[in-house]
Protein backbone atom coordinates (compact mmCIF):
# COMPACT_ATOMS: atom_id res chain seq x y z
CA UNK A 1 0.00 0.00 0.00
CA UNK A 2 1.59 3.29 -1.10
CA UNK A 3 1.71 6.46 0.97
CA UNK A 4 1.31 9.86 -0.67
CA UNK A 5 4.14 12.34 -0.27
CA UNK A 6 1.82 15.30 0.15
CA UNK A 7 3.80 18.37 -0.90
CA UNK A 8 0.83 20.67 -0.55
CA UNK A 9 0.25 19.69 3.09
CA UNK A 10 3.94 19.75 4.00
CA UNK A 11 4.45 23.07 2.24
CA UNK A 12 1.64 24.62 4.29
CA UNK A 13 3.13 23.21 7.49
CA UNK A 14 6.55 24.67 6.67
CA UNK A 15 5.03 28.06 5.83
CA UNK A 16 3.20 28.11 9.16
CA UNK A 17 6.49 27.37 10.93
CA UNK A 18 8.17 30.12 8.90
CA UNK A 19 5.45 32.63 9.79
CA UNK A 20 6.00 32.00 13.51
CA UNK A 21 9.77 32.32 13.09
CA UNK A 22 9.50 35.57 11.12
CA UNK A 23 7.07 37.01 13.67
CA UNK A 24 9.56 36.24 16.44
CA UNK A 25 12.36 37.90 14.42
CA UNK A 26 10.34 41.06 14.03
CA UNK A 27 9.48 41.16 17.76
CA UNK A 28 13.23 41.01 18.49
CA UNK A 29 13.75 44.01 16.23
CA UNK A 30 15.45 41.99 13.50
CA UNK A 31 14.95 42.61 9.79
CA UNK A 32 11.87 41.37 7.93
CA UNK A 33 13.00 39.12 5.02
CA UNK A 34 12.49 40.76 1.63
CA UNK A 35 12.24 38.76 -1.62
CA UNK A 36 12.14 40.40 -5.05
CA UNK A 37 11.34 38.99 -8.48
CA UNK A 38 11.99 40.15 -12.03
CA UNK A 39 9.34 39.05 -14.54
CA UNK A 40 9.76 39.70 -18.25
CA UNK A 41 6.81 39.25 -20.62
CA UNK A 42 3.38 37.68 -20.32
CA UNK A 43 4.16 33.95 -20.15
CA UNK A 44 1.13 32.46 -18.35
CA UNK A 45 3.04 29.84 -16.37
CA UNK A 46 5.65 32.38 -15.27
CA UNK A 47 2.97 34.82 -14.14
CA UNK A 48 1.32 32.04 -12.12
CA UNK A 49 4.61 31.04 -10.50
CA UNK A 50 5.52 34.60 -9.57
CA UNK A 51 2.03 35.28 -8.16
CA UNK A 52 2.37 32.13 -6.05
CA UNK A 53 5.71 33.35 -4.70
CA UNK A 54 4.29 36.76 -3.82
CA UNK A 55 1.30 35.16 -2.07
CA UNK A 56 3.65 32.90 -0.13
CA UNK A 57 5.63 35.95 0.99
CA UNK A 58 2.44 37.41 2.44
CA UNK A 59 1.61 34.13 4.20
CA UNK A 60 4.96 33.93 5.99
CA UNK A 61 5.31 37.66 6.74
CA UNK A 62 7.98 38.52 4.16
CA UNK A 63 8.13 41.74 2.18
CA UNK A 64 8.03 41.27 -1.59
CA UNK A 65 8.82 43.39 -4.64
CA UNK A 66 7.97 42.62 -8.26
CA UNK A 67 9.73 44.30 -11.18
CA UNK A 68 7.60 43.72 -14.28
CA UNK A 69 8.93 44.21 -17.81
CA UNK A 70 7.23 43.97 -21.20
CA UNK A 71 8.31 41.11 -23.46
CA UNK A 72 10.21 43.54 -25.69
CA UNK A 73 12.38 44.82 -22.84
CA UNK A 74 16.06 44.86 -23.77
CA UNK A 75 18.77 42.76 -22.18
CA UNK A 76 20.27 46.01 -20.88
CA UNK A 77 16.95 46.83 -19.14
CA UNK A 78 16.94 43.50 -17.33
CA UNK A 79 20.63 43.68 -16.41
CA UNK A 80 20.06 47.19 -15.02
CA UNK A 81 17.25 45.80 -12.82
CA UNK A 82 19.54 43.01 -11.61
CA UNK A 83 22.23 45.54 -10.65
CA UNK A 84 19.59 47.67 -8.92
CA UNK A 85 18.50 44.72 -6.76
CA UNK A 86 22.12 43.69 -6.11
CA UNK A 87 22.75 47.13 -4.63
CA UNK A 88 19.48 47.50 -2.71
CA UNK A 89 20.37 46.78 0.92
CA UNK A 90 16.76 46.05 1.86
CA UNK A 91 16.47 43.24 -0.72
CA UNK A 92 17.77 40.01 0.84
CA UNK A 93 17.29 37.77 -2.16
CA UNK A 94 15.78 37.88 -5.61
CA UNK A 95 14.96 35.74 -8.61
CA UNK A 96 14.75 36.32 -12.34
CA UNK A 97 11.80 34.25 -13.51
CA UNK A 98 12.72 31.88 -16.34
CA UNK A 99 12.27 31.43 -19.23
CA UNK A 100 13.31 34.83 -20.53
CA UNK A 101 12.43 36.02 -24.05
CA UNK A 102 14.82 34.60 -26.68
CA UNK A 103 16.55 37.92 -27.32
CA UNK A 104 17.80 38.01 -23.71
CA UNK A 105 20.77 35.83 -22.74
CA UNK A 106 19.56 33.99 -19.63
CA UNK A 107 23.08 32.91 -18.64
CA UNK A 108 24.36 36.48 -18.81
CA UNK A 109 21.51 37.63 -16.59
CA UNK A 110 22.01 34.76 -14.10
CA UNK A 111 25.75 35.41 -13.86
CA UNK A 112 25.05 39.09 -13.09
CA UNK A 113 23.13 38.21 -9.91
CA UNK A 114 25.05 38.68 -6.66
CA UNK A 115 25.62 35.07 -5.45
CA UNK A 116 24.71 36.20 -1.90
CA UNK A 117 21.25 37.19 -3.18
CA UNK A 118 20.82 34.27 -5.61
CA UNK A 119 18.06 32.49 -3.69
CA UNK A 120 17.22 30.42 -6.80
CA UNK A 121 20.67 28.80 -6.47
CA UNK A 122 21.49 29.08 -10.19
CA UNK A 123 24.68 31.16 -10.04
CA UNK A 124 27.90 29.22 -10.81
CA UNK A 125 29.30 30.17 -7.39
CA UNK A 126 26.36 28.52 -5.62
CA UNK A 127 26.41 25.50 -7.94
CA UNK A 128 30.14 25.15 -7.28
CA UNK A 129 29.57 25.31 -3.52
CA UNK A 130 26.88 22.64 -3.86
CA UNK A 131 29.26 20.38 -5.80
CA UNK A 132 31.92 20.79 -3.10
CA UNK A 133 29.44 20.11 -0.28
CA UNK A 134 29.79 23.66 1.08
CA UNK A 135 27.00 25.72 2.60
CA UNK A 136 25.05 27.37 -0.21
CA UNK A 137 21.65 28.16 -1.67
CA UNK A 138 20.25 24.92 -3.08
CA UNK A 139 17.98 25.46 -6.09
CA UNK A 140 14.39 25.39 -4.96
CA UNK A 141 13.09 22.15 -6.50
CA UNK A 142 15.96 19.91 -5.31
CA UNK A 143 15.83 21.65 -1.91
CA UNK A 144 12.10 20.94 -1.71
CA UNK A 145 12.64 17.27 -2.52
CA UNK A 146 15.31 16.97 0.17
CA UNK A 147 12.96 18.60 2.70
CA UNK A 148 10.23 16.15 1.71
CA UNK A 149 12.51 13.15 2.23
CA UNK A 150 13.61 14.56 5.58
CA UNK A 151 10.14 15.36 6.92
CA UNK A 152 8.69 12.00 5.83
CA UNK A 153 11.64 10.23 7.52
CA UNK A 154 12.55 8.31 4.38
CA UNK A 155 15.75 6.32 4.82
CA UNK A 156 18.22 7.14 2.06
CA UNK A 157 21.59 5.98 3.40
CA UNK A 158 22.98 3.09 1.36
CA UNK A 159 20.02 3.12 -1.03
CA UNK A 160 20.22 3.14 -4.82
CA UNK A 161 18.83 6.40 -6.16
CA UNK A 162 18.11 6.70 -9.87
CA UNK A 163 17.64 10.23 -11.22
CA UNK A 164 16.01 10.46 -14.66
CA UNK A 165 16.89 13.78 -16.33
CA UNK A 166 20.12 15.78 -16.30
CA UNK A 167 19.00 19.41 -16.27
CA UNK A 168 21.07 21.95 -14.35
CA UNK A 169 17.95 22.95 -12.43
CA UNK A 170 16.86 19.53 -11.12
CA UNK A 171 18.61 16.39 -12.37
CA UNK A 172 22.25 17.24 -11.83
CA UNK A 173 21.86 18.96 -8.44
CA UNK A 174 19.65 16.06 -7.24
CA UNK A 175 22.36 13.55 -8.15
CA UNK A 176 24.91 15.58 -6.18
CA UNK A 177 22.66 16.02 -3.15
CA UNK A 178 21.61 12.37 -2.97
CA UNK A 179 25.22 11.18 -3.18
CA UNK A 180 26.45 13.64 -0.54
CA UNK A 181 27.53 12.68 2.97
CA UNK A 182 24.33 14.09 4.45
CA UNK A 183 20.93 13.03 5.72
CA UNK A 184 19.02 12.74 3.42
CA UNK A 185 21.82 11.55 1.17
CA UNK A 186 24.51 8.86 1.23
CA UNK A 187 22.90 7.11 -1.74
CA UNK A 188 24.58 5.33 -4.59
CA UNK A 189 23.34 7.41 -7.52
CA UNK A 190 22.73 6.58 -11.17
CA UNK A 191 21.89 9.48 -13.50
CA UNK A 192 19.85 8.56 -16.58
CA UNK A 193 19.05 10.71 -19.62
CA UNK A 194 17.88 10.56 -23.23
CA UNK A 195 20.92 8.54 -24.33
CA UNK A 196 20.67 5.93 -21.56
CA UNK A 197 20.21 2.47 -23.04
CA UNK A 198 17.65 0.05 -21.58
CA UNK A 199 16.47 2.73 -19.18
CA UNK A 200 13.70 0.51 -17.76
CA UNK A 201 16.32 -1.98 -16.59
CA UNK A 202 18.02 0.83 -14.65
CA UNK A 203 14.88 2.37 -13.14
CA UNK A 204 13.75 -1.07 -11.91
CA UNK A 205 16.81 -1.20 -9.65
CA UNK A 206 15.99 2.11 -7.90
CA UNK A 207 15.10 2.21 -4.21
CA UNK A 208 14.48 5.93 -4.77
CA UNK A 209 13.38 7.06 -8.23
CA UNK A 210 13.43 10.79 -9.02
CA UNK A 211 12.01 11.70 -12.43
CA UNK A 212 12.55 15.12 -14.03
CA UNK A 213 12.36 14.47 -17.75
CA UNK A 214 9.46 16.59 -19.01
CA UNK A 215 7.77 13.74 -20.86
CA UNK A 216 4.23 13.00 -19.57
CA UNK A 217 3.80 9.54 -18.01
CA UNK A 218 7.16 8.31 -19.32
CA UNK A 219 7.71 6.10 -16.26
CA UNK A 220 5.16 3.29 -15.96
CA UNK A 221 4.59 0.79 -13.19
CA UNK A 222 6.60 -1.83 -15.12
CA UNK A 223 9.67 0.38 -14.73
CA UNK A 224 9.34 0.70 -10.93
CA UNK A 225 10.82 -1.60 -8.29
CA UNK A 226 8.46 -3.01 -5.68
CA UNK A 227 8.58 -0.77 -2.61
CA UNK A 228 10.42 2.10 -4.31
CA UNK A 229 10.05 5.75 -3.33
CA UNK A 230 8.89 7.60 -6.47
CA UNK A 231 9.30 11.36 -6.79
CA UNK A 232 7.74 12.92 -9.88
CA UNK A 233 9.10 16.38 -10.71
CA UNK A 234 7.45 16.71 -14.12
CA UNK A 235 4.31 18.70 -14.83
CA UNK A 236 2.91 19.08 -18.35
CA UNK A 237 -0.41 20.36 -19.66
CA UNK A 238 -2.03 17.63 -21.74
CA UNK A 239 -5.14 18.32 -23.81
CA UNK A 240 -8.27 16.77 -22.34
CA UNK A 241 -11.68 17.74 -23.68
CA UNK A 242 -13.43 16.11 -20.72
CA UNK A 243 -12.24 18.87 -18.38
CA UNK A 244 -13.55 22.42 -18.07
CA UNK A 245 -10.12 23.89 -18.74
CA UNK A 246 -9.52 21.66 -21.77
CA UNK A 247 -6.38 20.13 -20.29
CA UNK A 248 -5.06 17.98 -17.44
CA UNK A 249 -1.78 18.27 -15.61
CA UNK A 250 0.32 15.14 -16.01
CA UNK A 251 3.56 14.18 -14.34
CA UNK A 252 6.48 12.25 -15.81
CA UNK A 253 5.22 9.15 -13.98
CA UNK A 254 2.07 7.18 -14.80
CA UNK A 255 0.66 7.58 -11.30
CA UNK A 256 -1.88 4.73 -11.15
CA UNK A 257 0.47 1.96 -12.30
CA UNK A 258 3.51 3.26 -10.40
CA UNK A 259 1.50 3.68 -7.20
CA UNK A 260 0.74 -0.05 -7.20
CA UNK A 261 4.47 -0.72 -6.75
CA UNK A 262 5.64 2.28 -4.74
CA UNK A 263 5.94 2.59 -0.96
CA UNK A 264 5.82 6.40 -1.27
CA UNK A 265 4.86 8.49 -4.29
CA UNK A 266 4.30 12.18 -5.08
CA UNK A 267 1.09 13.19 -6.86
CA UNK A 268 0.92 15.71 -9.73
CA UNK A 269 -0.21 18.32 -8.95
CA UNK A 270 0.27 18.69 -5.19
CA UNK A 271 3.62 16.94 -4.81
CA UNK A 272 6.94 18.58 -5.59
CA UNK A 273 5.48 21.85 -6.96
CA UNK A 274 4.31 23.45 -3.69
CA UNK A 275 7.62 22.50 -2.04
CA UNK A 276 9.54 24.48 -4.66
CA UNK A 277 7.92 27.78 -3.69
CA UNK A 278 8.35 27.11 0.03
CA UNK A 279 12.03 26.28 -0.49
CA UNK A 280 12.50 29.68 -2.09
CA UNK A 281 11.10 31.21 1.13
CA UNK A 282 13.57 29.16 3.19
CA UNK A 283 16.46 30.36 1.02
CA UNK A 284 15.32 33.96 1.43
CA UNK A 285 15.22 33.60 5.20
CA UNK A 286 18.74 32.15 5.05
CA UNK A 287 19.91 35.18 3.03
CA UNK A 288 18.38 37.49 5.66
CA UNK A 289 19.99 35.63 8.57
CA UNK A 290 23.41 35.82 6.91
CA UNK A 291 23.10 39.61 7.15
CA UNK A 292 22.05 39.66 10.85
pLDDT, position 56: 96
- Flag whether 277 is in a domain: no
Which residue range forms the structural domain that includes residue 165? Answer: 140-272
The CATH number of residue 79's host domain is 3.40.50.10860
Asked if residue 145 and residue 111 are part of one domain, the reply reads no
The H or E element that residue 161 is part of is strand 160-164
Asked if residue 169 and residue 244 are part of one domain, the reply reads yes
- Flag whether 126 is in a domain: no
Q: What is the pLDDT along the chain (292 residues), one digit of tens a residue?
A: 689 999 999 999 999 999 999 999 999 999 999 999 999 998 877 888 899 999 999 999 999 999 999 999 999 999 999 999 999 999 999 999 999 999 999 999 999 999 999 999 999 999 999 999 999 999 999 999 999 999 999 999 999 999 999 999 999 999 999 999 999 999 999 999 999 999 999 999 999 999 999 999 999 999 999 999 999 999 988 888 888 888 888 999 999 999 999 999 999 999 999 999 999 999 999 999 998 8
- Flag whether 102 is in a domain: yes
- Flag whether 267 is in a domain: yes
Residue where a domain terminates, one of 115, 132, 153: 115
Asked if residue 213 and residue 162 are part of one domain, the reply reads yes
pLDDT, position 49: 86
Cβ-contact 156, 181 below 8 angstroms: no
- Flag whether 161 is in a domain: yes
If one counts every other C-beta atom within 10 angstroms of the C-beta of residue 110, the result is 17
The CATH number of residue 167's host domain is 3.40.50.720
How is residue 116 annotated by DSSP?
G
- C-alpha to C-alpha distances, 229 to 189, 259, 268, nearest whole angstrom: 14, 10, 15
Tally of structural domains, the chain: 2
Catalytic residues: 53, 97, 120
Asked if residue 178 and residue 58 are part of one domain, the reply reads no
Asked if residue 168 and residue 62 are part of one domain, the reply reads no
Asked if residue 157 and residue 64 are part of one domain, the reply reads no
The residues near 138 (Cβ < 8 Å, ≥ 6 apart) are: 121, 130, 146, 173, 177, 279, 283
- Flag whether 55 is in a domain: yes
Asked if residue 252 and residue 165 are part of one domain, the reply reads yes
Q: Cα angle vertex 269, ends 266, 273, to 5°?
A: 80
pLDDT, position 2: 87
**Beta bridge mates, 153:** none
Amino acid sequence: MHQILDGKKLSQQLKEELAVFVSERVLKGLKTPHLAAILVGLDGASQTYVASKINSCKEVGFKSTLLNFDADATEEDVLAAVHQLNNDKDIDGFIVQLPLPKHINADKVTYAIDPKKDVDGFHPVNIGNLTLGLDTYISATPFGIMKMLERYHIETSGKHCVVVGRSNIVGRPMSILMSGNTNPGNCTVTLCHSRTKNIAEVTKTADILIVALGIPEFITGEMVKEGAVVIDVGITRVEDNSTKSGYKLKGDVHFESAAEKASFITPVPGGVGPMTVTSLMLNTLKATELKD
